[in-house]
A and B are shown apart, each in its own frame.
Chain A
Amino acid sequence: MKKIRCALIGSGNIGTDLIYKIQRSPVLEPVWMVGIDLESEGLARAREMGLKTTAAGVDGLLPHVLDDNIQIAFDATSAYVHAENSRKLNELGVMMIDLTPAAIGPLCVPPVNLREHAEKVEMNVNMISCAGQATIPIVHAVSRIQPVAYGEIVASLASKSIGPGTRANLDEFTYTTSNAIEVVGGARKGKALAIINPAEPPMMMRNTISCLTDETPDEPRIIESVLAMIKEVQKYVPGYRLVNGPLFDGKRVTVFMEVAGLGDYLPKYAGNLDIMTAAATRTAEMFAEEILAGSIQLKPVEFA
């Protein structure tokens, strides 16, 4: 079967883990990996796994995009360079999946709004943050039953799973995730808290999602909705698991989740990184399925 050919930008943990997930996909094929350091472990591994590589950044990839028929690119670099990467590749008709906090395109949580983005043929979609991917489906599962005045999420992450970029820019994580709880989750106000725990052995990613509903929660319907949503997420993140709850306390609904990764390139405790790469892969697959079916067509974007 024909596959859509992809480029991975950024040869760190996320980019490297993506190779494994994309290689398993029935509709995607990883062809290029782009880095900036020839000696990086990510580029070396990409070469071993049969990908073409360049250490010259996105500019090293551009001359090959048309010849190699690259149609989807994943950006796992940083918010600072994403806009430029996206512009250059969009001009060549490549659709961008943004795993940085740049968020210049619409925010995407696959079980909530991916279909909408694919139908509109968005040329840049943003994957928010790991905590966003792990919690917003649950906020949405409550808000689709009844109005949510306030959604709050607490993400506990293993210290070893948090890279230097996130560490140095924690505020971006806070702002991006809080905003997405509102825009995608459907809460009128959102707040995100992150805790980095250094325990050894490393703890699994944990997420606690709390919603305040306007009216008394409809307990049976919320439970049913939350459990159905968990099944949806499990389709692409099998280690997404309910630990406790939903717990009802007046108008407060609380759900306690755990995310175990698949253990591809990243260890299982790094469920936070795995859910990002899995959600990004799921997103690319949806676009790829539509492209292969002929129902959408990517077109070069002209920038004024």
Chain B
Amino acid sequence: MMSDVNLKGRKVIVHDMCLRDGMHAKREQMSVEQMVKIATVLDDAGVPYIQVTHGAGLGGNSLQHGFAPHSNEEYLTAVCRAVKRTKVSVLLLPGLGTMRELQSAYDCGARSVHVATHCTEADTSPQHIAFARKLGMDSTGFLMMAHLNTPEGLAQQGKLMESYGAQTVYITDSAGYMLPADVNARVGALRDVLRPETEIGFHGHHNMGMGIANSIAAIEAGASRIDASVGGLGAGAGNTPLEAFVAVCERMGIETGCDLFKLMDMAEEIIFPIMDHIVRVDRSSLTLGFAGVYSTFLLHANRAAERFGIPARDILVELGRKKMIGGQEDMITDTAMTMAKERGLLKDAAVGVPS
């Protein structure tokens, strides 16, 4: 299926997510030194964009999403000073992050932004995208949980983001649910309606082991930007592993401008050693992909499972059934408590903890 299109000579911009999506896998506990070290090597390996913030982006420091040891400004300032060629980007979810925080990130040196909304709610992003453009930032509209909308629906949402000023529109497979044909249809639908100069991106998660195959399918359908992370450091089973993606691109003649061997060395010597748990397709992360649940829910569900005695898989499947979306991490504890009550493991609503 994938060999029908000859991609030789196609240029693709890779965007590393280790220092943003990877923060989720580190429970938001990366040090400034770790960030600077990783950013420096990515810069040296020719990765053109790297994203740096709390896992939930600007404004992410919260009880809901966890507190990082440093502010976004501290991470950004340190990384922006350390890199020479690579551009530093940030994530902004309207409803969580604000334009004040975007201004502050810009002042620290960020020059690109993913403005992210759920895949049906693009119209919550106009002021943020317009503001990013006003600052002169490389501005992306980022449609999350894209498996929950149809290709036609996504095309309309992408068109809205383009009208607000987005220069790139992303199909974001936050749950790692999609298969290559799903990606192809969605990217293709966007390509049909967006202006030729508007780029299309794809952000994958590896929960079903499809990160690289999905990214290639996206390129076939017209995407020119791919999010990935070295060693796959990211939420759930991680993002598309960047070094493996670059290797596949080399074999197919797709040009990324990245130094494959440097990236391989980096995965082995820097990223794998800092992982708190092995980021891979395992029972919980595969459940995310299979049930279509937001990848970031993984560690939260594991913690709720331990506290309330409900298996993480049961909680994740229930969250999928209730159609919970990114940002509703509070509903993980809530759902676990409700299930624990139903199973007689938790007593009184007004007490909340097992006695």
Alpha-carbon distance A134/B197, docked complex (angstroms): 45
Beyond known contacts A242-B350, A244-B352: 13 more, CB 8 A cutoff: A154-B330, A167-B121, A168-B124, A193-B64, A193-B95, A197-B328, A198-B148, A199-B322, A208-B334, A223-B350, A227-B350, A246-B352, A247-B337
Residues of A within 8 A of B128 (CB): 171
Alpha-carbon distance A92/B349, docked complex (angstroms): 50
12 A-B pairs whose Cβ atoms sit less than 8 Å apart in the complex: A150-B63, A168-B126, A169-B127, A174-B95, A196-B124, A197-B324, A199-B325, A210-B63, A212-B63, A244-B337, A245-B337, A256-B333
B81 within 8 A of A: no
A135 CB to nearest B CB, Å: 12
Assess the B98–A175 pair: CB atoms within 8 A: yes
- Tell me how many residues of A have a C-beta within 8 Å of chain B: 39
A249 CB to nearest B CB, Å: 9
Residues of B within 8 A of A154 (CB): 64, 327-328, 330
A252 within 8 A of B: yes
B338 within 8 A of A: yes
Assess the B121–A196 pair: CB atoms within 8 A: yes
Contacting B at CB under 8 A, from A177-220, are 191, 193-199, 203, 206, 208, 210, 212
Given known pairs A156-B331, A168-B126, A244-B349, the reply for A195 and B323 (CB within 8 Å) is no
A13 within 8 A of B: no
Residues of A within 8 A of B330 (CB): 154, 156, 208, 254, 256
Given known pairs A199-B323, A256-B337, the reply for A193 and B96 (CB within 8 Å) is yes
**What bracket does the count of chain B residues touching chain A fall in?**
35 or more
Residues of A within 8 A of B118 (CB): 196-198
Residues of A within 8 A of B327 (CB): 154, 193, 195
Assess the A248–B323 pair: CB atoms within 8 A: no
Contact of A168 among B123, B322, B334, B351 (CB under 8 A): B123
Given known pairs A152-B64, A252-B63, the reply for A244 and B121 (CB within 8 Å) is no
Alpha-carbon distance A254/B352, docked complex (angstroms): 10
Instruction: Give the total number of A-B pairs whose CB atoms are below 8 A apart.
Output: 110
A142 CB to nearest B CB, Å: 14
Given known pairs A167-B124, A244-B337, the reply for A197 and B325 (CB within 8 Å) is yes
**Nearest A residue to B117 by beta-carbon distance?**
A196
**Nearest B residue to A210 by beta-carbon distance?**
B63
B302 within 8 A of A: no
User: B residues touching A (Cβ–Cβ < 8 Å)?
Assistant: 62-64, 94-96, 98-100, 118, 120-121, 123-124, 126-128, 148, 322-325, 327-328, 330-331, 333-334, 337-338, 349-353
A177 CB to nearest B CB, Å: 11
Assess the A254–B333 pair: CB atoms within 8 A: yes
User: A residues touching B (Cβ–Cβ < 8 Å)?
Assistant: 150, 152, 154, 156, 159, 164, 167-171, 173-175, 191, 193-199, 203, 206, 208, 210, 212, 223, 227, 242-248, 252, 254, 256
Contact of B94 among A156, A171, A247 (CB under 8 A): A171
Residues of B within 8 A of A198 (CB): 118, 120-121, 148, 325
**Nearest A residue to B307 by beta-carbon distance?**
A249
Assess the A170–B62 pair: CB atoms within 8 A: no
Residues of A within 8 A of B337 (CB): 244-245, 247, 256
Assess the B124–A170 pair: CB atoms within 8 A: yes
A29 CB to nearest B CB, Å: 37
B61 CB to nearest A CB, Å: 9
Q: From B64, B126, B148, name the one whose CB has the most chain A CB atoms within 10 angstroms.
A: B64
Assess the A167–B123 pair: CB atoms within 8 A: yes
Alpha-carbon distance A256/B337, docked complex (angstroms): 10
A188 CB to nearest B CB, Å: 15
Contact of B99 among A171, A210, A227, A247 (CB under 8 A): A171
Residues of B within 8 A of A193 (CB): 62, 64, 95-96, 327
B355 CB to nearest A CB, Å: 12
Assess the B62–A191 pair: CB atoms within 8 A: yes
A211 CB to nearest B CB, Å: 9
Assess the A245–B64 pair: CB atoms within 8 A: no
**Nearest A residue to B145 by beta-carbon distance?**
A198
Residues of A within 8 A of B99 (CB): 171
Residues of A within 8 A of B351 (CB): 223
Residues of A within 8 A of B63 (CB): 150, 152, 210, 212, 252, 254
A74 CB to nearest B CB, Å: 26
Alpha-carbon distance A248/B348, docked complex (angstroms): 13
Assess the A171–B98 pair: CB atoms within 8 A: yes
Assess the B334–A159 pair: CB atoms within 8 A: no
